[in-house]
Amino acid sequence: MIANHSISDSRVSLPSLEQIVQVLTLEEYNTRVVVLGVMALGTAAGLVGTFLILRRRALTADALSHATLPGIAIAFMVMVALGGEGKNLLGLLIGAFVFGCIGVLAILGIRHTTRLKDDAAIGIVLSVLFGLGLCLLRIATELPNGNTAGLNGFIFGKAASMVANDALTMGVVALGVAIVIGILRKEWTLLCFDEKFGAVQGWPMLWLDVLLMAMVAIVTVIALQSVGLVLAVAMLIIPATSARYWTTKISSMLIAAAIIGCLSGWLGGITSALIPRMPTGPIIVLICGFWFIFSFIVGPVDGLIIRQITRLRLNRRISMQHILRAMWEVSEDTETSQFSIEEIVYVRSWSKRTVSKLLRRCEKLHFATRVSAKNWRLTQKGSAEASRVVRNHRLWEVYLITHADIAPTHVDRDADMIEHVLGRDLVAKLELLLETPALPKSPHPVGEQQ
C-alpha cells in the first residue's frame, strides 16, 4: 500500500509570489524569529569555526555536540526533581554546556593517558556519551512530573519551537563572540599557527585554548535548538572551510566565514518557511554544503578551476620554452637560420601535430615566422628569448658536470626540467661560479635523446 501513492506525494509545491514577499520581508512573527536567530547563529559559528578549522579540531567539535545530550537529560531531571517545569531553556543549555566541556576534557584525557590517537578518543567520547544521553532521556520520560516532549528536538533541531527570547539569546551570543574575537584575534592566530612560539613569548597558551573551546561549546549549545546536535558541527566547520578558498588572510577569512554562515542561515530560514516539510536545520546545512561546493570549485585560493588554470599555464610556458630551445639548437646545429617541422620532431619527442600547433603559437607571439611552405625561422625577438633559455639549460648542464660529477650524457634531462625555474639571481650565481663564456657549447650532441 505504500507503493500505491509513491513519490508523487513528496513533490515540492512552489510558494506564491505573495508568500515569497511575506517571507522575505519577515512579516510573520515566527519566520522573523527563526530567520534572525539562525542568521545570528550562522555568523557566530562562522567566526569561531575559523579558528576551530585552523586548529584542526573539526571532529572534536562533533564529539562536543554529541556529548551535550546527557547534559540536557540530567539538567531536565534535576530541574524536575527541584520541583521546576524541567524545560527551562537556560537550565538545559547550562547542562549541555557542562557536558560538552566534559566531553572535550575526556578526549584530552584519553589522548594523554593512553596510546590511542585523536580519532579513537573522539569516537569513544562521542558514541559513549551519546548512548548515555539516550539512556537518560528514556528514563526522564518516566519522571512523574516531567513532560519530556520536545527534548528530542535537541537531537535534530526544531527551529519552529524558537521564541523571540531565543533569537535574542543567539544575537547576544553572536555579538559576544564577535567582541571576544576582536580582542583575541592575534592571540588565537598565534595559537593556531605557532603554539610553541606563543608559549615562549609568555602567552598563556593553555588558557587561550581552553577559552577557544569554551566559545565552541557556547556556539554549539545555542545551535542545538535550531540545527540539532547531530548537525551542529556543520555550522562550525563548513562556512569556515569554504572561506579558506577565498582568502589566505585571517581577518578576511573571519569576515568571509561570518558572511557565508549568516547567508546560509538566512537562505535556510526562508527556504524552510516557504516550502512545506523542509526542516530548518538540515536545510541550512545543505545550503552550507552548496556554499562549500561553490567555493571549492570557483574559489580564487586553491579552488579547482584556478588550480587547473595555473597548471595549464605552467605547462604551456614550459612547452613554449622547449620549442624555442629546440628551434635554436636545430639552427645552431645545421648552421642555417631555417628549419623544418621534421627537424624539430627529431630533436624533441613530440608529435608532428603538437609541433605545428606550438609553431603557430610562436608565430602569433612573433617568435618565429614561416619562410617557405616547409621551413621556419626564428625572429629577432624569438632568437633573444630562445638564446636565454638555451643558455640557462647549458649553464645548468655545465654546473652538473663540473660540480656534481654527472656524466655529460646524463645531464640533458635534469637540465630540461630545471631550465624553466632558474631565476635571475641563480643564473648570476652560476655565471660567477662557472666563469663560462656568454653561451657555452652543448656538452652533448643535440637530438640524440631518442
Partner 1 sequence: MSWSIIDTWIIIIGALCAAGCAIPGTILVLRRMSMMGDAISHTVLPGIAIAFLVTGSRDPTAMLIGSVAVGLLTAFLIQGIQSLGKVEAGASMGIVFTVLFAFGLVLMRQAVDHVDIDPDCVLYGSIELAWFDQEPDGLGIPRGAIVNSVMLLANLFVVLLFYKEFKITSFDPALAKSQGIQPSFMHYLLMTMTATTAVAAFETVGSILVVAMFIVPPATAYLLTNRFGMMFVFSIALSIVAAALGHLSAITIPTWFGFSGTSTAGAMAVATGVLFIVVLLVSPNQGMISRLWRRLSVRILVIREDILGLLWRLEERGQGKMLPIQLSEAIGTTELSVRMALLSLKKRGSVSKTASSWSLTERGRTNATKLVRSHRLWEVYLDKHFPQDTHQLHHAASRLEHVTTDAMESNLGHAEVDPHGSPVPDEE
Q: For residue 368, which phi and psi values (nearest 5 degrees)?
A: -145, 155
- Using CB under 8 A as the binding rule, the residues of this chain from 61 to 90 that contact partner 1 are 61-62, 66
Binding region for partner 1 (CB under 8 A) out of 106-114, 200-208, 246-254, 432-440: 106-114
- The three grid cell numbers given for residue 365, joined into one nine-digit string: 607571439
Coil, strand or helix: which one is 270?
Answer: helix
Nearer to partner 1, 245 or 350 (CB): 245
For residues 107 to 146, the per-residue mask of contacts with partner 1, x marking binding by CB under 8 A and - elsewhere, is ---x--xxxxxxxx-xxx-xxxxxxxxxxxxxx--x----
- Using CB under 8 A as the binding rule, the residues of this chain from 350 to 409 that contact partner 1 are none
* Total residues binding partner 1 (CB under 8 A): 69
Give the one residue of 5, 196, 364, 424 binding partner 1; rule: CB under 8 A. 5
Nearer to partner 1, 5 or 196 (CB): 5
Binding region for partner 1 (CB under 8 A) out of 161-169, 184-192, 209-217, 234-242: 234-242
Coil, strand or helix: which one is 289?
Answer: helix
Binding region for partner 1 (CB under 8 A) out of 8-16, 33-41, 352-360, 375-383: 8-16
- The three grid cell numbers given for residue 283, joined into one nine-digit string: 536545510
> Min. distance of Cβ 246 from partner 1 in angstroms?
13
- Residue linked to cell 608559549: 199
DSSP readout, 132-169?
A: HHHHHHHHHTT-SS---TTTTHHHH--GGG--HHHHHH
Nearer to partner 1, 283 or 358 (CB): 283
Calpha distance 320→334 (Å, rounded): 21
Residue 279 as a binder of partner 1 (CB under 8 A): the answer is yes
> Min. distance of Cβ 281 from partner 1 in angstroms?
7
Determine the residue type at 344: I
DSSP assigned state of 442: P
Nearer to partner 1, 216 or 415 (CB): 216
Cα 368 from chain centroid (whole Å): 44
- The three grid cell numbers given for residue 55, joined into one nine-digit string: 586548529
Give the one residue of 288, 330, 344, 422 binding partner 1; rule: CB under 8 A. 288
> Min. distance of Cβ 311 from partner 1 in angstroms?
12
Pick from 80, 112, 75: which is nearest to 94 by CA?
75
- Using CB under 8 A as the binding rule, the residues of this chain from 154 to 213 that contact partner 1 are 155-156
Binding region for partner 1 (CB under 8 A) out of 1-9, 97-105, 320-328, 408-416: 1-9
The answer to whether 47 touches 250, Cβ cutoff 8 Å, is: no
> Min. distance of Cβ 94 from partner 1 in angstroms?
23
DSSP assigned state of 248: S
- Residue linked to cell 573571519: 254
For residues 300 to 339, the per-residue mask of contacts with partner 1, x marking binding by CB under 8 A and - elsewhere, is --x-x-----------------------------------
Calpha distance 129→106 (Å, rounded): 10
Residue 231 as a binder of partner 1 (CB under 8 A): the answer is yes
Binding region for partner 1 (CB under 8 A) out of 217-225, 279-287, 311-319, 359-367: 279-287
Binding region for partner 1 (CB under 8 A) out of 30-38, 51-59, 190-198, 432-440: 51-59
Radius of gyration of the chain (CA): 33
- The three grid cell numbers given for residue 265, joined into one nine-digit string: 542561515
Residue 296 as a binder of partner 1 (CB under 8 A): the answer is yes
Calpha distance 185→178 (Å, rounded): 10
How would you class 28 by CB atoms within 10 Å of its CB: exposed for 0-12, middle for 13-18, buried for 19 or more?
middle
DSSP readout, 15-66?
A: PPHHHHHHHHTT-SHHHHHHHHHHHHHHHHHHHHHHHHHHTT-HHHHHHHHH
State the residues that interact with partner 1 by CB under 8 A.
2-3, 5-7, 9-10, 12, 53, 56-59, 61-62, 66, 110, 113-120, 122-124, 126-139, 142, 152, 155-156, 230-231, 233-234, 237-238, 241, 244-245, 277-279, 281-283, 285-286, 288-289, 292, 296, 302, 304
